[in-house]
Amino acid sequence: MELARLREKSISQIAKDLGIAESGLRRWMKQADIDEGKKEGLSTDERAELVQLRRDKRVLEMEVEILKRASAYFARQNVLPE
């Protein structure tokens, strides 16, 4: 990314030299600018936290569904777990 920021070569040439897609290099540069506070957007850490929170939410939703089903089962059986 520093190579691209020095502007000694074009981004497309740097990407070609590195054997990566130009769009990938541009995306990395944009994310680096966000992480450094130069642009608005979700930082890498914020994006990772969001992914973890969504995963945790899905687990909690499954747990609630299991508890609802257990509650309905015990209500039908008129039995309280000990």
Contact of 25 with 11, CB cutoff 8 Å: yes
Q: How many CB atoms lie within 10 A of CB 42?
A: 13
Average pLDDT over residues 35-62: 97
Read off the pTM.
0.65
pLDDT in tens, 11-45: 999 999 999 999 999 999 999 999 999 999 999 99
34: enclosing H helix or E strand: helix 22-35
Q: How far apart are CA 50 and CA 16, in angstroms?
A: 33
At residue 74, φ and ψ (nearest 5 deg) are -65, -30
